[in-house]
């Protein structure tokens, strides 16, 4: 029964994630437009864009290699598998034993390397510039993520995603300053990883400032659709991860029935909507920073994460 529930929740989770993924960037964009007093495109616009791109014939550069063709699939698959491990409405999914925060970080790194290699494949300046910047930002984002994971590992005793989320949901830990600090640092990492403001501007195509878009200039057709889908999946993944770690209320425990799932789904949708709203507000309120200020931004996040861990060390006297 447990296994059946695991399979069923995993399938539902995956279907939910795949269906909702294109809506996430669309909704954020729509919310931002509304706040700026514009009507904005429909939240379904990314979905329509992807369907249009899929129908078009992909054009590859003359000297493009197999990397350009394979990389989008690698990135989408890696992100999808990472997303499959992040609990949404229910715990105890089929892939829960596989789900691990370090593995999620590794899979995101795999997607990032695929994207950077695709950017370098044709040998144009923008691709190279974007790849170099993306990989450099990761050098600051990954340590921050790992130190935040350290806080979780201390509190939950493991890096298994499902176990960490379940520990936090059970609420024996209560409110902790460390978790708040780790949460802030993870938010910063999420902004950098998803090429959002203030690290990168998702709305512009201005050459000098762009990072993520610069690597996609040479892709078209289904390849571009896959890249856009990957970006949407990644944004959804980070929001779901933040929801699972810091807003764990309402998710159904492993082995629960359909009613608990429905409640969990409702709670999850509310959490995601809240996070998207917060993202839209934040992006409207802040300006993009210079590229070489990003290390300071992420460095501050790293310090916050270290502070969170150090607070745990001194406050509880762990042994």
Partner 1 sequence: MLTALSLALAALLLLGAAAVPLARRPAGARFVHAGCLGACVVLAVLAFWALLASGGGPVLALPFGPPWGRALLALDGLSAWFLLLLGVTGGIASLYAMAHPAAQPGAVPPFPLLLAGMALAVVAADVFTLLFGFEVMSLASWALVAADHSRAETRRAARLYLMMAVLSAACLVPAFGLLVGHAGGFSFAALRAAPPAGWLATGVLVLLLLGAGSKAGLAPLNAWLPRAYPVAPAHVTALLSGATANVAVYVLARLLLDLCGPAQPLWWGVPLLVLGAGSAVLGALRANLEGDIKVVLACSSIENIGLITIGLGLALAFRGADLGPLAALAAGAALLHTLNHGVFKTLLFLAAGSVERMAGSRVLDRLGGLIHAMPATAACALVGIGAAAALPPLSGFASEWLLLQALLAGWRTGDVTFQVLAAAGTALAAMAAALAAAAMVRLFGLVFLGRPRTPRGAGAREVGRLERWALVIPAVLTLLLGLLPGPMLALAQPALATLLGRAAAVPAQGFALLGGSGEAVAWYLPLALLAVLLAAGLLVALVVRARSPLETRRGPTWDGGFIRPPDYLPFGDPLTQPSAAGLAQPLHRMLGAALYAARETVDMPRPGETRAARHRATLADPAHDWLVLPAGRLRGAVASWLERMRDFTVRRCLSFGFGTLVVLLALLAWLEAR
- Interface positions, 112-131, toward partner 1 (CB under 8 A): 112-113, 116-117, 120-129, 131
Spell out the residues 6+ positions from residue 253 whose beta carbon is closer than 8 angstroms to its own: 90, 91, 92, 166, 169, 260
| 49 interacts with partner 1 by CB under 8 A | no
CB 317 within 8 A of CB 211: no
Determine which residue in the list 15, 97, 177, 281 makes contact with partner 1, applying CB under 8 A: 97
| 195 interacts with partner 1 by CB under 8 A | no
Determine which residue in the list 35, 61, 278, 289 makes contact with partner 1, applying CB under 8 A: 61
- Cα radius of gyration rounded to whole Å, the chain: 19
| Partners of 160 in beta bridges | 100
At 160, give phi and psi (nearest 5°).
Answer: -65, 125
| 2 interacts with partner 1 by CB under 8 A | no
| Partners of 252 in beta bridges | 90
Q: Which stretch binds partner 1 (CB under 8 A): 30-38, 108-116, 179-187, 251-259?
A: 108-116
CB 310 within 8 A of CB 231: no
Helix (H) or strand (E) holding 211: none
Q: How many beta carbons lie within 10 A of that of residue 147, not counting itself?
A: 22
Determine which residue in the list 91, 196, 222, 234 makes contact with partner 1, applying CB under 8 A: 222
Q: Please, what is the minimum distance in Å from the beta carbon of residue 140 to partner 1? A: 8
| 184 interacts with partner 1 by CB under 8 A | no
**CA–CA dist 46, 134 (Å, integer):** 23
Q: Please, what is the minimum distance in Å from the beta carbon of residue 92 to partner 1? A: 15
Ramachandran category for residue 317: left, alpha or beta (phi over 0 → left; psi -120 to 50 → alpha): left
Nearer to partner 1, 80 or 265 (CB): 80
**Cα separation of the two ends of the chain:** 38
Nearer to partner 1, 8 or 154 (CB): 154
**CA–CA dist 134, 118 (Å, integer):** 12
CB 116 within 8 A of CB 67: no
Determine which residue in the list 28, 142, 165, 240 makes contact with partner 1, applying CB under 8 A: 142
Q: Please, what is the minimum distance in Å from the beta carbon of residue 58 to partner 1? A: 5
| 213 interacts with partner 1 by CB under 8 A | no
Determine which residue in the list 35, 41, 136, 269 makes contact with partner 1, applying CB under 8 A: 136
- Interface positions, 75-94, toward partner 1 (CB under 8 A): 76-78, 80-81, 84
Nearer to partner 1, 171 or 258 (CB): 171
């Amino acid at each position: 029964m447990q296994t059946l529930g695991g399979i069923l929740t995993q399938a539902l989770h995956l279907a939910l994630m795949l269906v909702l993924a294109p809506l996430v960037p669309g909704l954020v964009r729509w919310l931002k437009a509304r706040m700026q007093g514009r009507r904005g495109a429909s939240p379904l616009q990314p979905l329509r864009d992807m369907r249009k791109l899929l129908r078009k014939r992909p054009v590859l550069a003359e000297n493009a290699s197999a990397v350009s063709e394979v990389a989008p699939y690698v990135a989408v698959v890696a992100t999808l598998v990472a997303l499959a491990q992040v609990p949404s409405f229910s715990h105890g999914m089929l892939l829960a034993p596989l789900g691990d925060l370090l593995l999620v970080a590794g899979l995101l790194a795999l997607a990032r390397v695929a994207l950077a290699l695709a950017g370098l494949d044709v040998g144009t300046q923008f691709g190279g510039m974007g790849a170099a910047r993306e990989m450099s930002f990761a050098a600051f984002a990954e340590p921050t993520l790992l130190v935040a994971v350290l806080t979780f590992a201390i509190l939950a005793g493991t890096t298994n995603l499902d176990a960490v989320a379940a520990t936090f949901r059970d609420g024996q830990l209560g409110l902790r300053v460390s978790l708040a600090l780790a949460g802030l640092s993870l938010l910063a990492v999420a902004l950098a990883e998803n090429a959002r403001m203030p690290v990168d501007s998702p709305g512009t195509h201005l050459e000098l400032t762009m990072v993520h878009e610069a690597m996609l200039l040479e892709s078209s057709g289904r390849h571009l659709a896959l890249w856009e889908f990957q970006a949407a999946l990644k944004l959804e993944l980070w929001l779901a991860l933040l929801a699972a770690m810091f807003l764990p209320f309402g998710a159904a425990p492993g082995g629960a029935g359909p009613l608990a799932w429905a409640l969990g789904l409702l709670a999850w949708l509310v959490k995601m909507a809240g996070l998207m709203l917060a993202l839209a507000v934040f992006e409207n309120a802040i300006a993009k920073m210079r590229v070489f200020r990003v290390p300071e931004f992420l460095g501050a996040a790293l310090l916050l994460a270290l502070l969170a861990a150090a607070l745990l060390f001194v406050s509880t006297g762990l042994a």
